[in-house]
């Protein structure tokens, strides 16, 4: 494919374009949060408590008079940071195990498949719940828990793709030239399965953000007064009748972020690997 036809495909894929625009908007907000947010996220001003949305407080205020808009803006940093770190960890674990299982086969393969089955024997959220409770509620522990329960998806796809190409002539040739296994895996197999991995990464990111905010909602993630979207949302429930905006706006932020990534991921799949099932 030449660059021109790729560009044409990209521009014909409206979902991908819209997703990219959403992604870059959110990224900009997160990077320039200090400039975008009119107030600090933790300034308490009880005189302004539970104010509905207005020009000074775009999304209204909570029971402590904190600006919800500013909290949501700063919250984007938590969501993106956590999502990114989770995805890096889970993809590294998944890709390494998938490569090893697919390439070597035998008992190693069977063992890795058994461990994969093990992580799928409980609903991911429940598994994550158990892990975070064990480690104690904190953002770092949420990252660990979500990575531990979601690497298996990567391992499954990478294993299948590795199995499919490990006996290709060019791999055999590399082996015949005395390339060691490590170099074959890294220089010959990995580059050839990069596109499904890229698709998986972009689709795992929104999933990670959803899981983080879910755990945040249960009070297991970032602790008060950190502006975690899930936490703001769950704290707002008690004020739902008097001040619904506290819970509504962080939700909008989650949906837009997750939707943006999902659209990019879907678009990327259409472009790179339309038959990949996730």
Q: What are phi and psi of 207, to 5 degrees?
A: -60, -40
By CB under 8 A, residue 233 contacts other proteins: yes
**Contact between 205 and other proteins (CB under 8 A)?**
no
Binding-site member from 37, 166, 247, 273 for other proteins (CB under 8 A): 247
Query: Is 133 an interacting residue with respect to other proteins (CB under 8 A)?
Result: yes
Contact flag: residue 123 with other proteins (CB under 8 A): yes
Whole-Å CA distances, 150 to 88, 155, 156, 231, 253 = 11, 10, 11, 22, 23
Q: How far apart are CA 21 and CA 18, in angstroms?
A: 5
Integer-rounded Cα Rg, in Å, for the chain is 22
With binding defined as CB under 8 A, does residue 226 bind other proteins? no
Select the span of 32-40, 87-95, 119-127, 189-197 touching other proteins (CB under 8 A).
Answer: 119-127
Angle at 124 between CA 224 and CA 158, to 5 degrees: 120
Q: Which of residues 248-277 bind other proteins (CB under 8 A)?
A: 248, 250-251, 254-255, 258-259, 262-263, 266
Residue 128 vs 185, nearer CB to other proteins:
128
Q: What does the block give as tokens for 20?
A: 């990219």
Site string for other proteins, 22-61 (x = CB under 8 A): ----------------------------------------
For the bound state, the minimum distance from the C-beta of residue 162 to other proteins, rounded and expressed in Å, comes to: 20
**Contacts (Cβ under 8 Å, ≥6 apart) of 234:** 216, 217, 218, 219, 247
Candidates 217, 231, 235, 273; binder of other proteins (CB under 8 A) is: 217
Q: Establish if 221 lies at the interface with other proteins (CB under 8 A).
A: no
Q: How far is the CB of 277 from other proteins (least distance, A)?
A: 8
Q: Is 21 in the site for other proteins (CB under 8 A)?
A: no
Tell me the number of residues near other proteins by CB under 8 A.
41
| Residue 218 CB coordination number (10 Å) | 17
Among 92, 126, 186, 194, which residue sits at the site for other proteins (rule: CB under 8 A)? 126
Q: H helices of the chain, where?
A: 3-12, 14-31, 33-36, 68-104, 106-119, 124-135, 139-150, 152-165, 169-176, 181-183, 194-217, 229-236, 245-272
Q: Which stretch binds other proteins (CB under 8 A): 94-102, 104-112, 183-191, 246-254?
A: 246-254
DSSP 8-class letter at 151: T
Least separation in angstroms between CB 7 and other proteins: 15
Q: Please spell the DSSP secondary structure of 49-118, one letter per residue.
A: TTPPS-SSSTT-B-TT--BHHHHHHHHHHHHHHHHHHHHHHHHHHHHHHHHHHHHH-HHHHHHHHHHHHH
Instruction: Report the interface residues with other proteins, using CB under 8 A.
Output: 15, 114, 117-118, 120-126, 129-131, 133-134, 136, 206, 210, 213-214, 217-218, 230, 233-234, 237, 240-241, 244, 247-248, 250-251, 254-255, 258-259, 262-263, 266
């Amino acid at each position: 494919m030449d660059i021109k036809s790729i560009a044409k495909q990209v521009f014909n894929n409206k979902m991908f374009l819209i997703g990219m625009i959403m992604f870059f908007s959110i990224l900009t907000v997160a990077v320039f949060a200090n400039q975008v947010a009119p107030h600090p996220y933790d300034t308490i001003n009880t005189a302004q408590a539970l104010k509905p949305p207005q020009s000074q407080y775009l999304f209204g205020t909570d029971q402590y008079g904190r600006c919800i808009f500013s909290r949501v803006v700063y919250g984007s940093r938590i969501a993106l940071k956590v999502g990114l770190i989770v995805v890096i960890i889970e993809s590294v674990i998944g890709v390494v195990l998938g490569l090893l299982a697919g390439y070597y086969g035998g008992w190693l393969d069977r063992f890795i498949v058994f461990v994969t089955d093990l992580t799928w024997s409980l609903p991911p959220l429940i598994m994550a719940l158990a892990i975070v409770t064990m480690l104690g509620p904190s953002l770092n522990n949420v990252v660990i828990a979500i990575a531990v329960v979601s690497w298996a998806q990567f391992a499954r796809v990478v294993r299948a793709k590795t199995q499919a190409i490990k006996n290709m002539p060019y791999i055999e040739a590399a082996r015949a030239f005395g390339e060691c296994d490590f170099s074959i895996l890294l220089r010959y197999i990995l580059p050839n399965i990069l596109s499904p991995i890229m698709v998986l990464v972009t689709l795992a990111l929104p999933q990670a953000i959803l899981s983080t905010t879910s755990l945040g909602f249960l009070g297991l993630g970032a602790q008060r007064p950190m502006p975690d979207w899930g936490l703001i949302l769950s704290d707002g429930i008690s004020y739902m009748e008097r001040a619904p905006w506290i819970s509504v706006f962080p939700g909008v932020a989650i949906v837009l972020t997750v939707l943006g990534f999902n659209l990019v991921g879907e678009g990327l799949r259409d472009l790179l690997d339309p038959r990949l099932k996730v």
